Structure 1
Amino acid sequence: MAGAETTSARDNRLNELLISIQSRFEGLSPPSNCCIFTVPEKLRQTNKEAYPPSVVAIGPYHRLNPNLMQMEDHKLLYLQNFLQHNQNYCLKDYIQRVMSWEDDAWKCYDKQIDLDFNQFTKMILLDSIFMIQLFLMYSDPQRRLPSNWIFSRPWMFMDVRDNMILLENQIPFFVIQRLFEMAFGTHWQHTPELLELVCCFFKPFMRMEMLPESVTESEVTHFIHAISLTFLSSVRKAPNESNEESKLTPSAMELVAAGVKLRRRESKCLFDIEFENGVLNIPCLTLEDTTESYFRNIMASNSYLTDYMDFMHHLVDIPGDVELLINKGIIENWLSNKEAVARVINALADYYFYSLSDKLIKHCQKPHNKWKATFKRDYCSSPWVVNSVIAAEVDFTDYSTDRVLSPLSCITFAF
């Protein structure tokens, strides 16, 4: 039959396709091993400056950025200093040890790495020792180099530390841990444990001074993961599963209008939000210039914080909501103004808090609370009324008679 494919041509095409697919198997690893991710483009577009490093590349993703090359020589100086003060092993010993871990380390990254194995091993060793030295020098200034380029410039140190908590700028924690144990495990009795050094170094970003006691070094995957664990309580609860559509929590002003009392909860766990007996208890959220960037990087790999920011986004609807939460100590504002607070919270919102939102909504939908929408529309547009509500935060219902008090009569109680 004219134009028909011959058996030989079909076999050749089969072999080509077979080789093409089999070649793609090389370098693949089970998804469960992957813990260091590139940020999805959808998230990156919302704030392109929040994810790439500015002064130092850690790991392979930004290794070839020419603007970050200056720090590479500094890493060599740190390695040299490390070897001079840890003479139980030589450079060859550390290289051999890292080479034995490189397959496991390679599998921790979510995309193809444009390095050969020698380049990858060198990168892992230099970056890991660089960070170990930073931790040690930060905790003990006597360890610092005479002309220390990083610690002699406060702005440089802060930039380096900020870069080390970017999701795309990570080294697998197990490599740093094993190198640290290799150097100090049996020879330096007075050296703090690695997690203790990590918590001290990243203290401005952590909710607790130390990780929960239940967390072991073997559980930590990278620095972003370590920081995110301090947002969780020591007893880590599973999120409430729900097949329902996401419920929209009423705003702070709407909740107060419906008789909900807002209180700051003294808890180190950001997610310890409770609503009981008409009182919504919320731990303090501190907002600084760096908050948006490091929250974004945590949110890219942690759904708990994403759900929390979505909850806070619904609490903050109008300027009066921000002022109310600040006055109650629920938000601690170190940003330029109150408008910046609303911008950051709303920018981070995209539900672990399904049941909490449901309880708040049901409270606001009770017959004696239904006027809250009218209250917001008719009265919250006036600054003096907002201030009165903040000052008073009285119960808007006489529960002894189940009599609904009018918004204006409630405001009168403020004076």
Structure 2
Amino acid sequence: MGEPASGTLIQQNASASTEIDRVQVTIDQGEPRPHQDSSRRHYIYKVPDHFHKSSEQSYTPQVISIGPLHHGNKKLQKMENYKATYWKDFQQRARLTDGMILERIVKEIEEKVPACYEENRPNSDKPFAQIILHDATFIIEYFLRCRFPELQTDKDRAAITPWRAARMRLDFLLLENQLPFFIIEELYKLLLGVDEADRSRLPSFIDLIFDYFQGFNTQNHEKPGPNSDFRINHFVDLLRRFYLPPPNSPFSKKLKRPDNHDPVEGNCISQLARSKSGNHDPVEGNCISQLARSKSGNNDPVEEMYCTSQLAEAGMTFKKSESGRCLLELNFENGILEIPGFILNKDTELCARNLMAWEQLHYPTNEEYITDYFRLLDFLIDTDKDVGLLRRKKILVNRLGDKCATIVNNLCSNNVADTPSTLYYRKLCQDLGHFYNNPWNSWKIKLRRDLSTPWVIVTTVSAIFLLVLTLVQTVCSVISTVK
């Protein structure tokens, strides 16, 4: 593919130098990112070895490497030639012909991007900045071709077959296979120029990635507007946004501050802030005691969890939540557990594992919402019997066959704690455990198990009938004796 794809849709940018100045400023202001410790600037991680041992393919790219961590993998060499071609196309499309401009881009990348990686040494001799430039511009050019098929050439279609394209989409969602989002977005802006007419011909990069990953946006999150403060670290962070409820929704507030959250905590923190920090203050001691008491209920461990079939034996009813609910929004009330419908397919494991790795490596434990969701699924789905029950209730669509329960059980093995970390899911697990262990429900379980076969039922009924007859006979004998 020697010449760049042409068309009236994409106009050549005649103001690259001006854009570079703006890009430089934005890159300087691009960090730190949300939820990031100011003392730890990186947010692209090498996944720990024990994660890899659970499922190597879930963390390793199969078609294309992005960023330095998997660069140089010989199995992925085929796409490197297309990256070089797409880089040339991008240069021509953005009219980046000035050597000094390119030098400035390279300098900014070398100064700002390495700090985003926990490890940034590539497995090749290629300069770091060249890897980032080729990968970022490949993503831009490829996403544009996906959005506007008329930009595709015969060479594009021959090289990137439907199977390869489908797997590339998953490779873009691997935690070790990421670029800092801000560098891709700012390079993309070079195509927009400073002319309003040029801007109107192209979508924003946020629009572009929402379209490309729309299959993962199951809650139909709206695309952020031009004046939105929407910021992400990379594509795995975007995937996490798709799983979470919209920021201002009622469930979002409930997830962060569950119903059992004690207002004592907030009041005490305010009082402590106002109290003197010098000598011992009675307010301080009193508040610490109150905090200890209020926290003790929320932090009770989840001693044991029960699977779907066990909970059903205890009399629990399972119901599919009405459509539109957030995937994470399970609700238990009056013996009914409402679960949003979900699909388990071959992509679920890859997405789940990378999301859990991202949360555990980057977020505080009380914000591991998606990790806790899959922990809970691991509890609820233990055997094929549980899968069948959820399917009959139309809660689960199983596209994994008889491997479904095994895959769900393996998701959380060797990489996460045994019980939920977030207050919302901990409370939910405690409520389910209390329901199962309720004496009346325990008696129902025993009764169901004791009467599990027709012969047992017949024998029990016969015994009861004989007992009644014996009592009647005894009463009649007593009455006869009295007379």
Report the TM-score range of the alignment, normalised by the length of the smaller protein.
0.7 to 0.9
Question: What is the SS of the residue equivalent to 1:355?
Answer: helix
Matched, 1:238 2:238: no
Residue 380 of structure 2 contacts residue 386 of structure 2 at CA under 8 Å; is this kept in 1? Answer: yes
Cα offsets for 1:144-198 (capped at 9, x unmatched): 1232156751011112222111111100001011111232264231312212211
Residue 232 of structure 1 contacts residue 271 of structure 1 at CA under 8 Å; is this kept in 2? Answer: yes
Matched, 1:251 2:307: yes
Question: What is the SS of the residue equivalent to 1:64?
Answer: coil
- Where do 1:120-199 residues align within 5 Å? 120-149=128-157, 152-184=160-192, 186=194, 187-199=198-210
Question: What is the SS of the residue equivalent to 1:192?
Answer: coil
- Aligned partners of 1:59 and 1:278: how far apart in 2? 49
Cα offsets for 1:70-89 (capped at 9, x unmatched): 21110111122223333377
Question: What is the SS of the residue equivalent to 1:219?
Answer: coil
Residues 153 and 112 of structure 1: CA distance in aligned 2, closer, same or farther (over 3 Å): closer
Deviates more, 1:160-169 or 1:106-115: 106-115
Residues 57 and 322 of structure 1: CA distance in aligned 2, closer, same or farther (over 3 Å): same
- Aligned partners of 2:158 and 2:41: how far apart in 1? 33
Two-structure CA RMSD over aligned residues (Å)? 2.9
Structure 1 counterpart of 2:116: 108
- Where do 1:73-88 residues align within 5 Å? 73-87=81-95
Residue 69 of structure 2 contacts residue 123 of structure 2 at CA under 8 Å; is this kept in 1? Answer: no
Matched, 1:50 2:58: yes
Structure 2 counterpart of 1:355: 427
Question: What is the SS of the residue equivalent to 2:337?
Answer: strand
Deviates more, 1:206-215 or 1:55-64: 206-215
Structure 1 counterpart of 2:358: 301
Cα offsets for 1:268-304 (capped at 9, x unmatched): 5221111122221111221111211221111111232
Residues 115 and 105 of structure 1: CA distance in aligned 2, closer, same or farther (over 3 Å): farther
State the Cα distance separating 1:130 from its structure 2 match. 0.4
State the Cα distance separating 1:208 from its structure 2 match. 3.1
Cα offsets for 1:112-145 (capped at 9, x unmatched): 5248998111111110010011111111101112
Residues 206 and 379 of structure 1: CA distance in aligned 2, closer, same or farther (over 3 Å): farther
State the Cα distance separating 1:97 from its structure 2 match. 2.6
- Runs of 5+ unmatched residues, structure 2: 1-36, 259-294, 360-367, 414-419, 455-483
- Aligned partners of 2:96 and 2:73: how far apart in 1? 35
Higher RCO (CA < 8 A, seq sep 6+): 2
State the Cα distance separating 1:101 from its structure 2 match. 3.8
- Aligned partners of 1:77 and 1:66: how far apart in 2? 19
- Aligned partners of 2:409 and 2:434: how far apart in 1? 24
Residues 128 and 251 of structure 1: CA distance in aligned 2, closer, same or farther (over 3 Å): same
Residue 34 of structure 1 contacts residue 108 of structure 1 at CA under 8 Å; is this kept in 2? Answer: yes
Q: Give the letter for the 1:132 counterpart.
A: I
- Aligned partners of 1:322 and 1:381: how far apart in 2? 23
TM-score normalised to structure 2 length? 0.66
Residue 98 of structure 1 contacts residue 124 of structure 1 at CA under 8 Å; is this kept in 2? Answer: no
Structure 1 counterpart of 2:396: 331
Deviates more, 1:198-207 or 1:218-227: 198-207
Residue 257 of structure 1 contacts residue 372 of structure 1 at CA under 8 Å; is this kept in 2? Answer: yes
Structure 1 counterpart of 2:446: 374
- Where do 1:15-26 residues align within 5 Å? none
How many residues in Structure 1 have an aligned counterpart in Structure 2? 352
Question: What is the SS of the residue equivalent to 1:262?
Answer: strand
Q: Give the letter for the 2:440 counterpart.
A: H
Higher helix share: 2
Cα offsets for 1:210-261 (capped at 9, x unmatched): 4675995662001011011110001343276853323433211222222222
State the Cα distance separating 1:364 from its structure 2 match. 2.1
Deviates more, 1:94-103 or 1:223-232: 94-103
Q: Which has the larger radius of gyration?
A: 2
Residue 128 of structure 1 contacts residue 176 of structure 1 at CA under 8 Å; is this kept in 2? Answer: yes
Q: Give the letter for the 1:357 counterpart.
A: C
- Runs of 5+ unmatched residues, structure 1: 1-28, 383-415
Q: Give the letter for the 1:292 counterpart.
A: E
Question: What is the SS of the residue equivalent to 2:116?
Answer: coil
- Aligned partners of 1:345 and 1:379: how far apart in 2? 31
Residue 87 of structure 2 contacts residue 137 of structure 2 at CA under 8 Å; is this kept in 1? Answer: yes
Q: Give the letter for the 1:125 counterpart.
A: L
Residue 95 of structure 1 contacts residue 121 of structure 1 at CA under 8 Å; is this kept in 2? Answer: no
